Amino acid sequence: MTPRWSLFRRHKTSPDDAGIRCHTAWLSETGGRAINQDAVAHEVVDEGEAWLLADGLGGHGGGEVAAETAVTTIRDAYRQNPQASQENITALFTAAQHALHRQQQNDPALVGMRTTLVLLRQTDRNRLLSCLGEPNLPKQTIAKAEQRLQAGDAFLLCSDGFWEYIEEHEMLADLAQTETPQDWLNALQHRLLSRASGEHDNYSAIAIRVDDTKKTVEHSQSRSP
Strand partners, 145: 130
- Domain ranges in the chain are 4-211
Class at the top of the CATH hierarchy for domain 4-211: alpha beta
Q: What is the dihedral of CA 196, 118, 28, 194, to 10 degrees?
A: -20
Picking from 22, 14, 19, the residue whose alpha carbon sits closest to that of residue 180 is 22
Write phi, then psi, for 43 (nearest 5 degrees). -130, 135
Distance of CA 28 to the CA centre of its chain: 11
**Termini Cα distance of the chain:** 18
- Enumerate residues 6+ apart whose C-beta is below 8 A from 35: 64, 202
Size (the chain), residues: 225
Burial of 8 (0-12, 13-18, 19+ CB in 10 A): middle
CA distance 167 to 192: 10
Let me know: does 207 contact 155? Beta carbons within 8 Å: yes
pLDDT on residue 151? 86
For 198-215, the pLDDT digits (tens) are: 999 999 999 999 987 544
CA distance 20 to 24: 13
CA distance 182 to 223: 16
Picking from 90, 14, 13, 26, the residue whose alpha carbon sits closest to that of residue 220 is 26
Let me know: does 84 contact 123? Beta carbons within 8 Å: yes
pLDDT in 10s for each residue of the chain, 225 residues: 556 556 665 554 444 445 678 899 999 999 999 999 999 999 998 878 999 999 998 766 899 999 999 999 999 999 999 887 778 888 998 999 999 999 999 999 999 899 999 988 886 655 666 666 666 655 556 667 777 888 889 999 999 999 999 999 999 999 999 999 999 999 999 999 999 999 999 999 999 999 875 444 444 344 444
